[in-house]
Amino acid sequence: MSQAKIIDGKVVSTKVRQEVKEEVEKLNQQGINVGLAVVIVGKDPASRIYVNSKKKACAEIGIYSEEYALDESITEQELLTLVEKLNHDTKINGILVQSPLPKHINENRIVEAISPLKDVDAFHAQNVGKIMIGDFDFLPCTPSGCIDLIESTGTEISGKNCVVIGRSNIVGKPMAMLLLHKNGTVTICHSKTRNLAEVCRQADILVAAVGVPNLVKKDMVKQDAVVIDVGMNRLEDGSLCGDVDFEGVSQVASYITPVPGGVGPMTIATLMKNTVTAAKIQSR
Ligand code: NAD
Find the 228 Cα to ligand 1 centroid distance in Å: 13
Dihedrals phi, psi of 129, to nearest 5 degrees: -65, -40
Q: What is the pLDDT of residue 2?
A: 80
Contact 27 CB / ligand 1 (< 6 Å): no
- Type of residue at 70: L
* Ligand 1 proximity of 20 Cβ (cutoff 6 Å): no
**The pLDDT value given to residue 5:** 98
Query: Is the distance from the beta carbon of residue 142 to the nearest atom of ligand 1 less than 6 Å?
Result: yes
Burial class from Cβ neighbours inside 10 Å (0-12, 13-18, 19+) for residue 25 reads exposed
CA end-to-end span of the chain = 55
Which of 50, 230, 244, 274, when mutated, tests ligand 1's pocket best, judged by the most ligand atoms within 8 Å of its CB?
A: 230
State the pLDDT at residue 211: 97
DSSP string covering 224-242, please? Answer: T-EEEE---EE-TTS-EE-
Nearest CA to ligand 1 atom 24: 168
Atom of ligand 1 nearest to the CA of 145: 40
The pLDDT assigned to 55 comes to: 97
CA-nearest residue for atom 17, ligand 1, is 191
pTM over 0.85? The answer is: yes
C-alpha radius of gyration, the chain, whole number: 19
Q: What is the pLDDT of residue 1?
A: 67
Atom of ligand 1 nearest to the CA of 233: 32
For the chain, give every domain's residue range.
32-115, 140-263
Nearest CA to ligand 1 atom 15: 191
- Ligand 1 centre from 171 Cα, in Å? 7
pLDDT tens, per residue, the chain with 284 residues: 689 999 999 999 999 999 999 999 999 999 999 999 999 999 999 999 999 999 999 999 999 999 999 999 999 999 999 999 999 999 999 999 999 999 999 999 999 999 999 999 999 999 999 999 999 999 999 999 999 999 999 999 999 999 999 999 999 999 999 999 999 999 999 999 999 999 999 999 999 999 999 999 999 999 999 999 999 999 999 899 999 999 999 999 999 999 999 999 999 999 999 999 999 999 99
* Distance, CA of 111 to CA of 119 (rounded, Å): 8
The CB density around residue 14, as the number of other CB atoms within 10 Å, is 13
Of 203, 254, 204, 259, which Cα lies nearest the Cα of 230?
259
**For the chain, what is the total number of helices (H) and then of strands (E)?**
10, 11
Which of 85, 106, 86 has its CA nearest to residue 95? Answer: 86
Whether the CB of 166 sits within 6 Å of ligand 1: yes
Q: What SS3 state is found at 169?
A: coil
What topology does CATH give the domain 140-263?
A: Rossmann fold (3.40.50)
Residue of 280, 243, 235, 276 whose CA lies nearest to 262: 243
Distance 73 CA to ligand 1 centre (A): 27
Domains 32-115 and 140-263 share a fold: yes
- The reply to whether CATH 3.40.50.1580 applies to domain 32-115 is no
Is residue 131 within 6 Å of ligand 1 at its C-beta?
no
Interval between CA 55 and ligand 1 midpoint (Å): 24
CA–CA gap between residue 157 and residue 154 (Å, rounded): 9
C-alpha 168 – ligand 1 centre gap (Å): 7
Active site residues: 54, 98, 121
